[in-house]
Amino acid sequence: MALAFAGKAVAASAISAIVRKSFDYLDRCTKMEGMRSVKERLERTLPQVQLVFDAIDMERIRDQSEALDAWLWQLRDAVEEAKDVLDEVEYYKLEKKVKSRGNKVCSSLYNCKSLFIQQFSTTFNVGTFKRMADAMKKLDEVAVGVERFILFVDHLDSSSLRHICHQKDVVNPCETSSFMIEETIIGRDTERDQIVEWLIEQGGDNQNQEFCNVTLFALVGIGGMGKTTLAQAAYNDQRVKQCFDCAMWVCVSNDFDVPALTRKIIQEITGRGTDVICLNTLQEILRGKLSSKKFLLVLDDVWNDEADQTGRN
């Protein structure tokens, strides 16, 4: 998971994922006392951090507030430090899992050697967990500083930023796509196969019927858990591709704008954009493109699921 503060600050959801995973490990270490208050304070603070991220313009923040700019750099350093420790722990966890699969020989000499390695590993883990706890404490100390800037960002004119985000000629910097940077995913084979099998089953049903119900499959969880990567793996599976007449990937993000989403879906099908504004006309175009076809539609990064919007599709 890459964290970048250039152009736009890293989402608080990504920081939350680091905090959650780190405390999952720390909870197993009984000697780490006094960390519960740190965890609870971070859980209260991170939503405020997200408010600041949403309100500021990273390209102009130095001119707007040198203090806020300095705090953002401190936060970046604290997040990177916590991520480095977490990556180290997960690396050794994966390495241990791989090695355990190859250990099939048992002997007295091996057992003696194994005991020594286990003692060394225990010492290493204690040291690593200590650094992880220190990293969480440092992140907590920096994150609470966000309280100084809440009133400041309230005075920023963020309405202009929101207006820019709605303009069709501006690309959402957080927009996802079906393209996978890495073809191999680790630790999600079972979940991927379950989704693929479900999609194949749905794609093969009702082949002789002119009309059929639309079936849904939801991947739900906090940001940073790998939902998009898992969806990409299933979406790009050749077995899935062969079951559908067409496949579409649309990134929703925070604003569930039905006409805009409909235009995106049409563009996915035709490869061309449309200037049509009327929702009824857009839906008629979409109906014509998908009539009597088996299609796969992925709506990624959905945050707003209000019934009055989703029900209009």
Do 122 and 29 fall into the same domain?
A: yes
Do 288 and 197 fall into the same domain?
A: yes
**Predicted local distance difference test score (pLDDT) of residue 206:** 53
Do 35 and 148 fall into the same domain?
A: yes
**Predicted local distance difference test score (pLDDT) of residue 181:** 55
Average pLDDT for residues 103-111, to the nearest whole number?
46
Number of domains, the chain: 2
> Does residue 45 register a pLDDT over 80?
yes
Q: Worst-scoring range by mean pLDDT, 170-179, 230-239, 270-279?
A: 170-179
What is the band of 106 on the pLDDT scale with cuts at 50, 70, 90?
very low
Do 28 and 125 fall into the same domain?
A: yes
Rounded Cα–Cα distance for residues 246 and 268 (Å) = 9
Per the domain annotation, does 175 fall within a domain?
no
The alpha-helical segments, DSSP class H, found in the chain are 12-26, 35-55, 61-64, 66-102, 108-143, 150-154, 159-166, 189-204, 227-235, 238-241, 258-270, 279-290, 307-310
Q: Worst-scoring range by mean pLDDT, 16-25, 32-41, 199-208?
A: 199-208
Per the domain annotation, does 280 fall within a domain?
yes
Do 29 and 149 fall into the same domain?
A: yes
Per the domain annotation, does 211 fall within a domain?
yes
Choice between 65 and 196, residue whose per-residue pLDDT is larger: 196
Domain boundary among 114, 144, 159: 159
Per the domain annotation, does 92 fall within a domain?
yes
Q: Give the best-scoring range by mean pLDDT among 2-16, 180-194, 245-259.
A: 245-259
pLDDT digits (tens, 9 = 90+) for 136-168: 999 999 998 888 887 776 655 444 344 434 443
> Does residue 174 register a pLDDT over 80?
no
Rounded to two decimals, the pTM is 0.44
pLDDT digits (tens, 9 = 90+) for 53-89: 877 766 666 666 788 888 888 998 999 999 998 888 8
Per the domain annotation, does 184 fall within a domain?
no
Per the domain annotation, does 179 fall within a domain?
no
What is the band of 116 on the pLDDT scale with cuts at 50, 70, 90?
very low
What is the band of 215 on the pLDDT scale with cuts at 50, 70, 90?
confident
Do 44 and 134 fall into the same domain?
A: yes
Q: Which of 140, 126, 141, 144 has the alpha carbon at shortest distance from 26?
A: 126
Do 230 and 155 fall into the same domain?
A: no
**Predicted local distance difference test score (pLDDT) of residue 120:** 39
Do 132 and 202 fall into the same domain?
A: no
> Does residue 227 register a pLDDT over 90?
no
Query: Which residue type occupies 253?
Result: S
Q: Please state, rounded to an integer, the average pLDDT across all residues of the chain.
A: 74
Determine the structural domain holding residue 126 and report its residue range. 12-159
Do 221 and 97 fall into the same domain?
A: no
Choice between 256 and 236, residue whose per-residue pLDDT is larger: 236
Per the domain annotation, does 88 fall within a domain?
yes
Rounded Cα–Cα distance for residues 133 and 35 (Å) = 8
> Does residue 195 register a pLDDT over 60?
yes
Do 193 and 148 fall into the same domain?
A: no
Do 241 and 304 fall into the same domain?
A: yes
Do 125 and 24 fall into the same domain?
A: yes
Contact call for residues 253 and 162 (beta carbons, < 8 A): no
Share of residues in the chain with pLDDT > 70 (%): 64
Per the domain annotation, does 1 fall within a domain?
no
